Amino acid sequence: MKCYKCGSQLTDENMCLKCGADVTLYKTVVKASNAYYNLGLAKAQLRDLSGAIESLRTSLTINKNNIKARNLLGLIYCEMGDIVEALSEWVLSKNFKQEKNMASSYITNIQSNQGKFESVIQTIKKYNQSLKYAKGGNYDMAVIQLKKVVALNPKFIKAQQLLALLHIKEKEYSKAKKCLNNILKIDKNNTVAQRYLREIGLIEDISTKDVSESFLPRRKVKDLNSIPLRGNDVYLPPTTYKEPSNGAITVINILVGVLVGAALVWFLIMPSRYKGLTNDYNKSIVEYSEKLSSGNVELNTITKQLQDVQAERDSLTKKVQDISGTDGNNKLLIALIDSANAYIANDKIKAAESLVNIDVSTLPSENAKALYNTIALAMPTVANDLYTLGTTSYYKNNFTEAADYFARSYKLDSTKVDAAYYGAKSYEKLEQVDNAKKYYQYILTNFPTHRYAAEATTYISKH
Amino acid sequence: MINFDDEIKKFQPSLEVEEAEDAIYNNDFPDVTDIINKIINKLSDK
């Protein structure tokens, strides 16, 4: 024991040997505090934690420097789930006595197990939340939270008490009793738990009494086996069959279950899956077919265009050949040049006959057409000259030469009906019927009203 | 019979870590030894 004034160690004397203070009363007070500590310790050893807390609180009220009492109080709080209260007591204890204090080891022990400490702190937060729910009338939520709290920290007395109260409210007395018994395992003389248990006992007694003391006659439980059978009753004999329950049957049942599951998957799920895949494939095929068809159409269009282009190319090639080849404009120009040469050489017959096969409209240039027209002015004169030569040959009975002259004359001047007539007569003399008919036909076609037409008709009809 | 409303009012929130500091500082109440010490000091002053 230390002096309350100077802190020096006291002896059996009623006076401090260092400062001379009277410590008689102080010693009495400290002894009283220690007595309450001893009482609290005894209660704690008997797991009367509520009673121990009461004694230790009294001890600390008398002497707040009673370190042992404070440390024990912290331990009891810790045991009841109030870890923060426990820490508070230990911190105060350490503050009063920093050396050789068990509180230091308790704090260190808690700090070293941080995970567990966090878990306990969370349970306290949940308990407080549950209390809010319960006070707010949200009992279901409160019960759910409290069940979690007591599962994590079964020694949390306050949570067990609140959960028991909520179970009592819901008339779930067996659950409430379970919570209360848990409390009494930790704190044997917990007054709240004992009161609740007594109340539950009273409620259960009343309900039992209600049934037992009812003035109505109790229902008789009918024993079916004792009722005699009547005519329409069907008697089912009691069966002796019992479900097998050994391990092999269980394994077989599991295997059968697995097989049934696999069969269900195979016959119900897989076909729909395959069907889905088939539909996807069919859609893809349709899409590709459409693309192929459009491609074919495009190919046909391009082929047709190619054919058109080739035909156009052939046509243009032919035109080019017609124009540039010996059968084209070149031929016309060559014939015109030959005619011009003959004309210059004063051979008018040759000039005219070269010119007769040229179509003036097809000549490629205006100069060529002008030259043609110049030479063509001589053609009627040449036709007359040839006709005269033909007449001379005709009267000399040289019909071959005559026919040639008349044919050339008619060719140069198609209005010269006499040339055609005597050409026909010359061929008639030569007995060349086809040529004769050809010239008679010219007369009938081009000069149907001429006097030679009747003779021409007669000859054609006879031959 | 238990009156639920009365009982629920008796339940108090448990101390959380954030409140520990206040709880420790507010714990500095005088005990019997403090009172005796004050009485003795007053008597000696007289």
pLDDT tens digits, residue range A360-405? 777 777 888 888 888 888 778 888 888 999 999 999 999 999 999 9
In this predicted structure, the answer to whether residue A355 has a pLDDT above a threshold of 90 is no
Q: Which residue do the tokens 């401090």 mark?
A: A16
Residue A420 Cα distances to A4, A117, A317, A378, A457, angstroms = 176, 143, 41, 20, 14
- The CA distance from A393 to A426, in Å, is 10
Residue A213, pLDDT score: 54
Residue of A87, A328, A79 lying closest to A190 (CA atoms): A79
State the complex-level ipTM: 0.86
Residue A235, pLDDT score: 58
User: Higher model confidence: residue A413 or residue A300?
Assistant: A300
Asked if A24-112 and A378-463 have one fold, the answer is yes
Give B17 to chain A, closest Cα distance, Å: 6
In this predicted structure, the answer to whether residue A232 has a pLDDT above a threshold of 80 is no
What does residue A293 show for φ and ψ, rounded to 5 degrees?
-60, -45
Give B38 to chain A, closest Cα distance, Å: 11
- The CA distance from A171 to A176, in Å, is 9
3-state DSSP assignment of residue A98: coil
Residue of A130, A117, A118 lying closest to A158 (CA atoms): A130
Task: Place A227 in a pLDDT band, splitting at 50, 70 and 90.
Answer: low
In this predicted structure, the answer to whether residue A221 has a pLDDT above a threshold of 50 is no
The answer, for A369 touching chain B at a CB cutoff of 8 Å, is: no
Q: Is A182 within 8 Å of A154 (Cβ atoms)?
A: yes
Q: Is A431 within 8 Å of A440 (Cβ atoms)?
A: no
What does residue A9 show for φ and ψ, rounded to 5 degrees?
-70, 135
Q: Which residue do the tokens 């265009």 mark?
A: A305
Domain boundaries, chain A: 24-112, 118-206, 378-463
Q: How many helices (H) and strands (E) does chain A have?
A: 20, 0
State the average pLDDT for chain A: 86
Q: Is A190 within 8 Å of A202 (Cβ atoms)?
A: no
What architecture does CATH give domain A378-463? Answer: Alpha Horseshoe (1.25)
The residue of chain A with its CA nearest to that of B44 is A21
**What secondary structure, in 3-state letters, does A59-70 show?**
HHHHCCCCHHHH
- The CA distance from A59 to A36, in Å, is 5
User: Higher model confidence: residue A126 or residue A462?
Assistant: A126
- The CA distance from A273 to A181, in Å, is 58
Range of lowest pLDDT (A86-90, A151-155, A330-334, A420-424): A330-334
- Exposure b/e, B6-17, CB count within 10 A at least 16 = b: ebbeebeebbee
Rounded CA Rg of chain B: 20
Beta partners for A15?
Answer: A22
Long-range contacts of A172-175 (CB under 8 A, 24+ apart): A173/A200, A173/A203, A173/A204
The answer, for A25 touching chain B at a CB cutoff of 8 Å, is: yes
pLDDT tens digits, residue range A433-453? 999 999 999 999 988 898 888
pLDDT tens digits, residue range B1-46? 788 889 999 999 998 888 888 888 887 778 888 888 888 788 877 7
Residue A59, pLDDT score: 93
Report the CATH fold assignment for A118-206: 1.25.40
Task: Place A242 in a pLDDT band, splitting at 50, 70 and 90.
Answer: low
Q: Is A158 within 8 Å of B13 (Cβ atoms)?
A: no
Task: Place A193 in a pLDDT band, splitting at 50, 70 and 90.
Answer: very high
Q: What does the DSSP 8-state code read for residue A9?
A: B
User: Higher model confidence: residue A93 or residue A331?
Assistant: A93
Give A233 to chain B, closest Cα distance, Å: 52
Q: Which residue do the tokens 């912290």 mark?
A: A74
Residue A228, pLDDT score: 57
Task: Place A243 in a pLDDT band, splitting at 50, 70 and 90.
Answer: low
Task: Place A352 in a pLDDT band, splitting at 50, 70 and 90.
Answer: confident
- Pick from A64, A87, A127: CB nearest B14: A127
pLDDT tens digits, residue range A2-14? 777 787 888 888 8
The residue of chain A with its CA nearest to that of B34 is A63
- Residues of chain A with C-beta less than 8 angstroms from the C-beta of B33: 4, 26, 29-30, 62-65
- The CA distance from B30 to B33, in Å, is 8
- The CA distance from A349 to A385, in Å, is 8
pLDDT tens digits, residue range A270-304? 888 888 888 888 888 998 998 998 899 999 999 99
User: Higher model confidence: residue A218 or residue B19?
Assistant: B19
User: In this prediction, what percent of chain A has a pLDDT beyond 90?
Assistant: 44
- Pick from A22, A63, A82: CB nearest B31: A63
Q: Is A435 within 8 Å of A403 (Cβ atoms)?
A: yes
- A82·B14 Cβ contact <8 A: yes
Q: Which residue do the tokens 């395959």 mark?
A: A274
Report the CATH fold assignment for A24-112: 1.25.40
Residue A390, pLDDT score: 92
In this predicted structure, the answer to whether residue A342 has a pLDDT above a threshold of 60 is yes
The pTM assigned to this predicted structure is 0.50
Question: Residue A407 corresponds to which amino acid?
Answer: A
Q: What does the DSSP 8-state code read for residue A41?
A: H
pLDDT tens digits, residue range A51-69? 999 999 999 999 888 999 9
Residue A328, pLDDT score: 58
Task: Place A241 in a pLDDT band, splitting at 50, 70 and 90.
Answer: low
Residue of A165, A177, A161, A166 lying closest to A139 (CA atoms): A166
